[in-house]
Amino acid sequence: MSQSVESVTRATFDEVMVPNYSPAAIIPVKGVGSKVWDQSGKEYIDFVAGIAVNSLGHSHPALLKALHEQGDQLWHVANVLTNEPALRLAKKLVDLTFADKVFFCNSGAEANEAALKLVRRYAFDHVGEEKHEIISTYGSFHGRTLFSVSVGGQAKYKEGFEPTPKGISHVPFNDLEALKAAMSDKTCAVIVEPIQGEGGVYPATQEFLQGARDLCDQYGALLVFDEIQTGVGRTGKLFAYEKYGVTPDVLTSAKALGGGFPIGAMLATDKVAASFVVGTHGSTFGGNPLACAVSEAAVNILSKPEVLAGVEARAETLVAALTDIGARYGLFSEIRHVGLLIGCELTEAFKNRAKEFVIAGYEEGVMLHVAGPNVLRLLPSLVMAEDEMAEGIRRIEKAVQRVVGAA
């Protein structure tokens, strides 16, 4: 035999992978819609969607078609040339949002890195070097580059990586008075997730986002919305800012933008984007034709009114089921959600045991996720089929029974 397929198992991970993750015991090998199968052929109903990435489920025919067609044409050219898929996708995003200009990259952290550099550069261009302070919120998550962990509001992601960039401060999320007190003429930008995702699924209040907008205008600062988790349909709007009716100057997107193919984007107004003159920023893979072709196909579907309307319908079904299960087993003190970004806060009896539900879920053939130790997070495909949802809910209850029975 000339070809041998080496068998790899979960144990291989510990042998050859850097130990920064702790993946589950099973290894998925195939996915269709909201169903996933592991190496042994066991089926799972997927309520995680690659953490808000596979918003059209797995192996969506339109994405497969785009991937195959573009794969036959052109994969990569680098930014010494532009390409048709990138131009088409940028046009689409400009048409569908407040933005006039788009910068493509490959991940959420890179989109935020671009945004954070842009807001500094804009202030540098228009006012001067002293206007460089960035205000963020505690509990926020903005990615894992050094700049984005520094701006992120969770100390654990910075520990051991100091010194971090200077000129960054944090205020409590949804505390408009604290934000007011922190603002000054030195503030170049405020960055906020309209709904904190990793931090525990906490929606911003209308007052906070509107207040942040007003304060930014008052101090000549830019408002940046990190919509990497909340965007591309997750909340039932293409972007969550539409839901609030508060428009940022800069918006970052990734995760669902590529429907599973890695891509990130920073969207900005003309005036702000103008500060990224030739040579100020870049990315070899950013705007890659394959990524942009798949993303265009994803955005085409996820921006359809009927698809966005379907998000709220599915959210109602799922939240009602979780509320019912939660009540019968005394699980949740609160269920927070905007569209299909759902966080179930555990009661005192199950405090800090979110991970146990995820592990029990794998046993029962259902994929669940956490947002911190005390919140069970669900962020399924936005087009999840009715029968997948119903079967998934049955399996969630079985997983719950496992945890409760073992208590």
Ligand X SMILES: *Cc1c(COP(=O)(O)O)cnc(C)c1O
Binding site for ligand X (CB under 6 A): 107-109, 112, 141-143, 193, 197-198, 226, 228-229, 254-255
Report, in Å, the least distance between residue 135 CB and ligand X: 16
Report, in Å, the least distance between residue 376 CB and ligand X: 17
Q: What amino acid is encoded at 143 in this protein?
A: G
Angstrom distance (rounded) from CA 126 to CA 391? 56
Report, in Å, the least distance between residue 108 CB and ligand X: 2
Report, in Å, the least distance between residue 9 CB and ligand X: 26
Nearest to ligand X of 199, 361 (CB atom):
199
Angstrom distance (rounded) from CA 235 to CA 397? 25
Q: What amino acid is encoded at 250 in this protein?
A: V
Sheet of 341-346, strand order? 332-338, 341-346, 375-378, 369-370
Nearest to ligand X of 109, 322 (CB atom):
109
Nearest to ligand X of 234, 395 (CB atom):
234
Q: Which residue is nearest to ligand X (CB)?
A: 108
- Looking at the DSSP bridge assignments, the partners of residue 332 are 346
Q: For residue 151, which phi and psi values (nearest 5 degrees)?
A: -75, -35
Nearest to ligand X of 50, 365 (CB atom):
50
Residue-wise over 8-41: b if at least 16 C-beta within 10 A, else e? eeeeeeeeeeeeeeeeeebeeeebebbbbbbeee
Nearest to ligand X of 140, 187 (CB atom):
140
Nearest to ligand X of 109, 389 (CB atom):
109
Q: Tell me how far CA of residue 362 lies from CA of 7, 22, 278, 307, 405, in angstroms.
A: 22, 15, 49, 29, 16
Report, in Å, the least distance between residue 150 CB and ligand X: 13
| CA nearest neighbour of 16 among 8, 5, 25, 4 | 8
Report, in Å, the least distance between residue 343 CB and ligand X: 13
Report, in Å, the least distance between residue 398 CB and ligand X: 29
Nearest to ligand X of 114, 325 (CB atom):
114
- Looking at the DSSP bridge assignments, the partners of residue 38 are 28
